[in-house]
A and B are shown apart, each in its own frame.
Chain A
Amino acid sequence: MRVAALERPLREEFPRLLRDGERACELEALRARTRRFADEHVRPRALEIDRRTGEDPGWFDWELVRAGAEHGMLRFLIPAPAGGEGGSPIHCSVVMEELCAACPGIALIFGAHALGVSPLLLGGASHWDGVLAELLDSERAGSPMLMACAITEPEAGTDVEDPDLLRRGRITSHARRVPGGFRLSGTKRFISNGSVARWITVLMPTEPRRAAETLTCFLLDTRSEGFSVSRVEHKMGQRACPAAELRFDEVFVPDELIVGREGDGAAETMIVLASSRPPVGAIATGIARGAYERLLAWLSEDPAARGLLERQHVQLVLASMEEEIHLSRQAYMDAATELDSGALGRVRSDPSVRALGHVPASIRRRARVRRWLASERARDATVALLHRTTSERALTRSLALSSLAKARGADVAMRVTGAALELVGLRAGPVRAELEKLWRDAKLTQIYEGTNQLNRIEVYRGLCHGETVNCLPPLHRAHVNADVPRHADLEAGTNGNAPQRPVVGTVVGAVGGRV
């Protein structure tokens, strides 16, 4: 039995899109493209890849990544001036729901890549012509590269996902300042794509005892000396995407590969989570939808299910699945829209950001300009822009809505997959294996991107209690260890005095970047 996605126009699924015809068309096209990829490459391979990776967690299907790259699955978040599609969490969510209805494990490869890219969008234009360009070049050359994002460590999972908990947590990783950059040591755990990524955004404190104040985001080249993959986990589900333990043994990262400013990592993490949780809500919604579609197909086509659709019990179960899926879809769309047009909306439309987008790449790539874009002043300007265009309260609210969508979606995914499995029973034939897989896959959505418990705590803080969480890096940061020369300075021979120019905003549509 071939299970196809339900053929409904996107406007029916997101009625609010009726108000924005242009966006509806654009998202519809993105979804159609994703659906083509899912139908041709993902659905047919999902069970087989799950079986193979169940036996050997290190097995990885690069063929699928290449096919995904051809369908634009790796570049939708990359800012347009850098050559990508400049998508936002809304785009990411639409892609995730569609892929997850086919196979959440395969979707996670692309989702974890997007998560790895996300901090770079906060880091401003300095990465456009660096790693982001490299990603696009590798795609064009037919050997796409993947990214990952490494936050979690063995002693700190929930604790690294919240600045207050970070103060009480036991962070064992450490980025030590050395001339020209940092040396990273420690272990990161459960990192999706960790064993296959070429670049990883890594969060580590420069002073583990003051982790909340000194957490910093580094862009790590996995070919660096001292980096290794110490294990690949044997997971319950979402197996197509490997989760790896990563060892850092004094791995050198130069200054220009710090993402944002030194010490801004905790706030950056919160913005990244605010923008990555709606897509996780979409992942969960897609899983639920995948189960629902398979169940419907089985009920209407399989001789073993004859007569079941006439049973009121079955009709009620299906109706409540529709209901739950619809609501969780609206929840992630609300959250993504709020972030995109609300909390970060003014960042995206800021004239300085738009102007920078019109600067030709040939000029941007000049050594002096690149040095400037990577300079402390440019980084300060990025933070200043954030302060000018949004507020901690707006971001906290947005984070809470994102957390709501994530936690709600995850619970829906568990309920719908569990109920579908219960309806078909043990003897249903091949559809059972597909539903069992989705049920195993669904459980992860309650755990990653912060457990549902932590997400609900964010909902309490942001919505019930009206709190303000530290989501913005401080406007002024005394540059730590200012006496130690920076790598760029060493190269330029300026010893700390990088050329200073009038500031053009360098945040590019934090998490998104269409100019």
Chain B
Amino acid sequence: MTGATAVERAELLETARELARRELVPRAAALDAGEQDVLATCWRQLAEIGLDRALLAEEHGGSGLSVSDLLAAIEELAAGEGGIALCVLLANAALATLPSEHAAAIPGGARWALVPVRSGAEATVSDGRLEGSVASALGAYGTEGVVFAVQGDRPASIAVAAGTPGLELARDEAQMGLRAAPAASIGLTGIDAHADLTQSDGASAPADAGGVLALLRAGTAAIARGIARRAYGMALEYAKARRQGGVAIIEHDAVSEMLAAMAVRLSCPLPAAAGAAAALAAKVAASDAAVASTTDAVQVFGGTGYMRETGIEKLMRDAKYCQLFPEPNWVAQDELMRLACD
């Protein structure tokens, strides 16, 4: 992965921004309602600009972007719709986990997702078989395949194509946030963890659980930031237009202070690289900031903000999920301290 030149990067970001504005924002409510055909339409458009396989080298049919380019693009997409941005992150994380030739064998435009799994608590690999259950795997429902990143003593990454016997995926109807990346409850019985991906029923790959988790965390930070940007933009616009007390509400300190705090939170840069510790810290900071900003954004809208049609309460729900994925922030902070002590 050599990454794009500055010009290419700027172009890529502009394309992602445009796509978010023109295609994702108008479809955000439909995506939130879980409409699968709308997700498929958006996914096709993302695949056309190569964001479904952004990190894969060009010789393997990918876009050959660097991680930081991908993260920047994900932030732009999330400023349109957070769940779609998560689909892009999960697909790229899934492919990045696989050996390049296996990743290359996945047909272009196919949506895969990476599912981090705690070894023992959720799933176990023994005798070459993957067994267990995962309660709510974001983005896994409706995919053409899932890569399980098993964390623990013996990390492993196991790719399983949809339809493989022993793989059961049920939609998590209760999912509150990032609903464009539909979550699934997954049952795993006797999944062959050795099979070859090119036969499209499964493959094992050299595990790089630390790297892939760092990517998920940095990506979640980028999504959180995109969501917070959108919330700020919407709240600012509304605060200039809505009048109470004879003036635009932005004239009231109570409102302008909330907006200023949103701007301040956005002014803290995300780390450019996805090192393990930096990614953890970024994901905690960005998701906490996104929750604070989106909650205040709803507040700026008053009662209108509480209604679904405004689209602002959705940002609050989406941001909350960034605090919980790939692990709750308090667990991420634990991990951060573990790294600091190592």
Q: Nearest Cβ distance between residue B286 and chain A, in whole angstroms?
A: 15
Q: CB within 8 Å of A: which residues of B? A: 121-122, 134-136, 138, 173-174, 176, 183, 243-246, 252, 254-255, 291, 295, 298-299, 302-303, 305-309, 313, 316-317, 320-321, 323-325, 327-331, 334
Size range of the interface on A?
Answer: 35 or more
Q: List 28 A-B contacts (CB under 8 A).
A: A155-B243, A157-B244, A159-B244, A168-B246, A234-B308, A236-B298, A236-B307, A236-B313, A313-B330, A421-B324, A422-B324, A425-B328, A426-B136, A426-B138, A426-B183, A426-B321, A426-B325, A427-B134, A427-B135, A428-B135, A436-B174, A440-B176, A443-B298, A443-B313, A443-B316, A446-B299, A447-B303, A447-B305
Q: A427 touches which one: B122, B246, B309, B323 (CB < 8 A)? A: B122
**Is the beta-carbon distance between A169 and B305 smaller than 8 angstroms?**
no
B122 to chain A: closest residue by CB:
A427
Bound CA–CA A75/B245 (angstroms): 37
**Is the beta-carbon distance between B324 and A426 smaller than 8 angstroms?**
yes
A452 at the interface (CB under 8 A from B): yes
Q: A159 touches which one: B245, B308, B320, B324 (CB < 8 A)? A: B245
3 tightest Cβ-Cβ pairs between the two chains A and B: A168-B246, A453-B254, A433-B174
In the complex, per-residue mask of A404-429: 1 if CB is within 8 Å of any chain B CB, else 0: 00000000001000100111111111
**Is the beta-carbon distance between B135 and A447 smaller than 8 angstroms?**
no
**Is the beta-carbon distance between B245 and A158 smaller than 8 angstroms?**
yes
- Given A427-B136, A428-B135, answer yes or no on A189-B303 (Cβ-Cβ < 8 Å): yes
Chain A residues whose C-beta falls within 8 Å of the C-beta of B327 in the assembled complex: 425
Chain B residues whose C-beta falls within 8 Å of the C-beta of A313 in the assembled complex: 330, 334
Chain A residues whose C-beta falls within 8 Å of the C-beta of B255 in the assembled complex: 453
A393 at the interface (CB under 8 A from B): no
In the complex, per-residue mask of A163-183: 1 if CB is within 8 Å of any chain B CB, else 0: 001001110000000000000
Chain A residues whose C-beta falls within 8 Å of the C-beta of B298 in the assembled complex: 236, 443, 447
A439 at the interface (CB under 8 A from B): yes
A432 at the interface (CB under 8 A from B): yes
Bound CA–CA A324/B329 (angstroms): 21
Bound CA–CA A423/B327 (angstroms): 10
A435 to chain B: closest residue by CB:
B176
**Is the beta-carbon distance between A452 and B299 smaller than 8 angstroms?**
yes
Q: Nearest Cβ distance between residue A118 and chain B, in whole angstroms?
A: 20
**Is the beta-carbon distance between A414 and B295 smaller than 8 angstroms?**
yes
Bound CA–CA A501/B328 (angstroms): 70
**Is the beta-carbon distance between B302 and A451 smaller than 8 angstroms?**
yes
Q: Nearest Cβ distance between residue A161 and chain B, in whole angstroms?
A: 10
A448 at the interface (CB under 8 A from B): yes
**Is the beta-carbon distance between B135 and A429 smaller than 8 angstroms?**
yes
**Is the beta-carbon distance between A451 and B328 smaller than 8 angstroms?**
no
**Is the beta-carbon distance between A422 and B329 smaller than 8 angstroms?**
yes
In the complex, per-residue mask of A434-470: 1 if CB is within 8 Å of any chain B CB, else 0: 0010011001101110011100110000000000000
A304 at the interface (CB under 8 A from B): yes
Q: A421 touches which one: B121, B173, B244, B320 (CB < 8 A)? A: B320
Chain A residues whose C-beta falls within 8 Å of the C-beta of B323 in the assembled complex: 422
**Is the beta-carbon distance between B176 and A168 smaller than 8 angstroms?**
no
Bound CA–CA A313/B321 (angstroms): 21
Bound CA–CA A421/B287 (angstroms): 14
**Is the beta-carbon distance between A425 and B331 smaller than 8 angstroms?**
yes
Give the residue among B176, B317, B321 with the most A Cβ atoms within 10 A: B176
